[in-house]
Amino acid sequence: MPSFFDRSFELSARTTFSGAFLDRLSERRDDSEFFRDLRAHPASRVVLMSEDAPLFASRGDERDVFFSFAEAESFGPLEDVILLGRSQERAYFAAHIQTNADTNHRSEGGTRGFSPAPSSKGVESVDLRSVALLGLVHSEALGLLAQAKSLVYWHRRHRFCANCGGPTASAASGWRRECASCGALHFPRTDPVVIMVTTDGESCLLGRQARFAPGMFSALAGFVEPGETIENAVRREVREETGIRVGRVAYLGSQPWPFPCSLMLGCMAEALSREVFVDRAELEDARWFTRAELSAMFAQTHPDGLRAPNSIAIAHRLLQVWLEG
Amino acid sequence: MPSFFDRSFELSARTTFSGAFLDRLSERRDDSEFFRDLRAHPASRVVLMSEDAPLFASRGDERDVFFSFAEAESFGPLEDVILLGRSQERAYFAAHIQTNADTNHRSEGGTRGFSPAPSSKGVESVDLRSVALLGLVHSEALGLLAQAKSLVYWHRRHRFCANCGGPTASAASGWRRECASCGALHFPRTDPVVIMVTTDGESCLLGRQARFAPGMFSALAGFVEPGETIENAVRREVREETGIRVGRVAYLGSQPWPFPCSLMLGCMAEALSREVFVDRAELEDARWFTRAELSAMFAQTHPDGLRAPNSIAIAHRLLQVWLEG
């Protein structure tokens, strides 16, 4: 085989939220009868988003994120019903629902002390970061919830046509919104974001935003802008945020990041300079870390209490690759 | 250096529209005084989009895509003025303008026989594909025009708030639109698209859409959907369009593709099956091509008159890598 396949692992397959397993049936999305039949089938299941958080049913000692339509509709009217896809003769949908379910929200930056409260109504919402961090569902269901969350969010924020201001309506099994006033078609949005570990071989460059948990440093990141390649976006972001010039860039893997609808493009970047100038509008701090220091951060034994990102972030995977390589 | 930098070339840097050279000054975008001062500076230049096509001035025997603001405003009122960035003390802007300039549109699928007519008014619009194919500007200006075209298009299609339907206004030097009604902030959209050459080592899999020029076959492509990695999007698209199962996927390079605002993610994909089932809703045809056959297509010596994509497309670059590798 040619050399572009030499990489013997797929980092993307190990990122959280990447466990999609459905046949997305995209060729059937415009078939409204097919959609109706699948929705009416008793084997079909729907995941429910209350605001931006998936709902869980308590079934004995277990939590379950999949509902029959009969059960789901007993909670209230479903909005924005989307056909996610099918697996082993079972169709999966997503929908938004307004509920008075108990809500568990993770505090920004960590889950220490977080424990979803059991719900008196037998249903609760748990924000998706906490679902991932606490391992409340298996990785395939997590991929499905990521798909569902981004799509439901997109529907809820696109009730109107950006072109003319008229109301839009869901179409194509939830994969398009259409404007009856001007005829514009709108498609789900996915925002590419570069995230990169910049290294001079011995050390890597990490930064922290003011909103991060205390002591946390992570890979730099930013949205890809119009007119940029992945590699040029990496160079611009690193230069803007730290003043470091970047030479070669290598893509290592990607991750769907449903907060609300990003595609994280994980890269390794080669530093051509050393002196850091922190852009204080973007970052609270940025500096170089040795492998030994980063290892201590992962082990939570850093003398200053510094920490590295947890395993749900692709930054964690990128930094592990660098530590091992 | 670690092995992820082993790749000795950067395919992205050789793709058409990737020649961005500006300091984008993103940390100054919210400084409206800075924006006003730069716009008023006599050294500043603006590129103009008439509908979706850049305007060219005839200056003697030369065409020029850069205008002073004084000259630009002599053609009519400027809409959606965007600060693109700065290079060597000169700031560059983009704007939309409604003109009665002569318009040169390339027929879909080819430029044979196309020649921009000289304009009686000294200004003409030429669609951006033709600008690239005919080499009307150097690669850095082409990158700037790509940035400008995607941004101007985004402004023109986002006059209203998708969240509430209210009018939006440009802010942040043209890098944001704001809704005064609901307070929503809107950012430029970039759509990630996977484009892949699928190969079993000996042959590669290409398809043709009905809208392609006669005889043209190219790499398969499709939008990345919510919940997908690059690699999984490649697998889904190839499976959907041709029935071929894909194993390993390698990212080789990316390209800004301003038609209207895509980021092309160029990949090589390893085929795990051989039998092609063409999805006739998406493709007119798809089949395997040997290296010899593809070489003949590039040389325009294929006995059936089949052709490969021209050099402005990243598909061309990917296929060249495969031919050479």
Q: What is the mean pLDDT of residues A152-177?
A: 98
Chain B residues close to A158, C-beta within 8 Å: 162-163
Which of B137, B229, B267, B324 to mutate to test binding with chain A, by most A CBs within 10 Å of its CB? Answer: B229
d(CA B79, CA B49): 10
Largest Cα–Cα distance in chain B?
A: 62
Q: Which of B7, B188, B227 sits opposite A225 (nearest CB)?
A: B188
The reply to whether residue A165 touches residue B163, judged by beta carbons under 8 angstroms, is no
Residue count (chain B)? 325
Residues A155, A93 contacting (CB under 8 angstroms):
no
Residue A241 has pLDDT above 90, yes or no: yes
pLDDT at B99: 76
Chain B residues close to A148, C-beta within 8 Å: 227
Residue count (chain A)? 325
Q: What is the mean pLDDT of residues A213-227?
A: 97
Q: Which of A13, A190, A258 sits opposite B191 (nearest CB)?
A: A190
Locate the chain B residue with the closest alpha carbon to A251: B251
Chain A residues close to B224, C-beta within 8 Å: 190, 263
d(CA B257, CA B238): 21
Q: Which of A55-69, A94-108, A207-221, B76-90 has the lowest mean pLDDT?
A: A94-108
What is the percent of chain B where pLDDT is above 70? 91
- For chain B, positions 117-146, list CB contacts with chain A under 8 A: 143-144, 146
pLDDT at A230: 98
Which of residues A11 and B109 earns the better pLDDT score? A11
d(CA B314, CA B325): 16
Q: What is the mean pLDDT of residues A152-174?
A: 98
Chain A residues close to B248, C-beta within 8 Å: 5, 7, 10
pLDDT at A206: 98
Q: Which of A227, A282, A322 sits opposite B150 (nearest CB)?
A: A227
d(CA A276, CA A207): 11
Residue A165 at interface with chain B, using a CB cutoff of 8 Å: yes
Residue A167 at interface with chain B, using a CB cutoff of 8 Å: yes
The reply to whether residue A265 touches residue B5, judged by beta carbons under 8 angstroms, is no
Q: What is the pLDDT of residues A270-312, one digit of tens each?
A: 999 999 999 999 999 999 999 999 999 999 999 999 999 999 9
d(CA A108, CA B89): 42
Residue A107 has pLDDT above 80, yes or no: no
Q: Which two tokens stand for residue A137?
A: 């569902």
What is the percent of chain A where pLDDT is above 90? 85
pLDDT at A103: 58
Return the DSSP state at A13.
G
The reply to whether residue B160 touches residue A164, judged by beta carbons under 8 angstroms, is yes
- Residue whose C-alpha is closest to residue B84's, from B29, B158, B130, B41: B29
Q: Is A14 helix (H, G, I), strand (E, B) or coil?
A: helix
Res. B70 pLDDT band, cuts 50 70 90 = very high
CA atoms within 13 Å, Cβ hemisphere of B149:
28
Q: How do beta strands B246-257 and B262-271 pair?
A: antiparallel
Residues 6+ apart with CB under 8 A from A88: none
Chain A residues close to B238, C-beta within 8 Å: none
pLDDT at B100: 65
- For chain B, positions 186-225, list CB contacts with chain A under 8 A: 186-192, 199, 201, 223-225
Q: Which of B159, B192, B255 sits opposite A190 (nearest CB)?
A: B192
Q: Which two tokens stand for residue B94?
A: 């983009």
Q: Phi then psi for B50, rounded to 5 degrees?
A: -105, 115
Residues B258, A226 contacting (CB under 8 angstroms):
yes
- Average pLDDT score, chain B: 91
Chain B residues close to A232, C-beta within 8 Å: 12, 18, 20
Residue B112 has pLDDT above 50, yes or no: no
The reply to whether residue A258 touches residue B227, judged by beta carbons under 8 angstroms, is yes
Chain A residues close to B255, C-beta within 8 Å: 229
Q: Phi then psi for A59, rounded to 5 degrees?
A: -120, 95
Sign of CA dihedral A245, A251, A255, A256: positive
Res. A62 pLDDT band, cuts 50 70 90 = confident
Q: What is the mean pLDDT of residues B255-277?
A: 97
Residue B166 at interface with chain A, using a CB cutoff of 8 Å: yes
- Residue whose C-alpha is closest to residue B229's, from A109, A139, A246: A139
The reply to whether residue B229 touches residue A255, judged by beta carbons under 8 angstroms, is yes
pLDDT at A53: 96
Residue B11 has pLDDT above 90, yes or no: yes
The β-bridge partners of A263 are: A192, A256
Q: What is the mean pLDDT of residues A22-29?
A: 95
Res. A60 pLDDT band, cuts 50 70 90 = confident
pLDDT at B20: 77
Q: Which of A57-71, A139-153, B191-205, B221-235 has the lowest mean pLDDT?
A: A57-71
d(CA A69, CA B49): 49
DSSP string, B46-87: EEEEETTEEEEEEETTEEE--B-HHHHHHHS-EEEEEEEEEE
d(CA A249, CA A198): 9
Q: Which of A18, A223, A252 sits opposite B4 (nearest CB)?
A: A252
Q: What is the pLDDT of residues A117-141, one digit of tens each?
A: 444 468 899 999 999 999 999 999 9
Residue B240 has pLDDT above 90, yes or no: yes
Identify the helix (H) or strand (E) that includes residue B144: helix B139-156
d(CA B79, CA B27): 23
Across B92-114, b (16+ Cβ under 10 Å) vs e yields: bbbbbbebebbbbebeeeeeeee
Residue A114: Cβ within 10 Å count: 15
The reply to whether residue A191 touches residue B186, judged by beta carbons under 8 angstroms, is no
Residues 6+ apart with CB under 8 A from A44: A38, A68, A69, A90, A91, A92, A93
B301 class by beta-carbon count within 10 Å (0-12 exposed, 13-18 middle, 19+ buried): exposed
ipTM for this prediction: 0.93
Distances (CA, A) of A18 to A127, A143, A146, A253: 17, 5, 8, 11
- Residue whose C-alpha is closest to residue B84's, from B137, B159, B2, B145: B145
Residues B174, B82 contacting (CB under 8 angstroms):
yes
Q: Which two tokens stand for residue B82?
A: 């965007």
Q: Which of A160, A168, A256 sits opposite B228 (nearest CB)?
A: A256
- For chain B, positions 248-267, list CB contacts with chain A under 8 A: 248-256, 258, 261, 263, 265
- Average pLDDT score, chain A: 91
Q: What is the mean pLDDT of residues B160-177?
A: 98
Q: Is B107 helix (H, G, I), strand (E, B) or coil?
A: coil
The reply to whether residue B281 touches residue A15, judged by beta carbons under 8 angstroms, is no
Name the minimum distance, in Å, from the CA of B44 to any CA of chain A: 20
- Residue whose C-alpha is closest to residue A243's, from A201, A209, A210, A286: A286
Residue B8: Cβ within 10 Å count: 6
Residue A238 has pLDDT above 50, yes or no: yes
d(CA B128, CA B152): 13
What is this structure's pTM? 0.93
Name the minimum distance, in Å, from the CA of B139 to any CA of chain A: 12
d(CA A161, CA B158): 8
pLDDT at A118: 40
Residues A163, B155 contacting (CB under 8 angstroms):
no
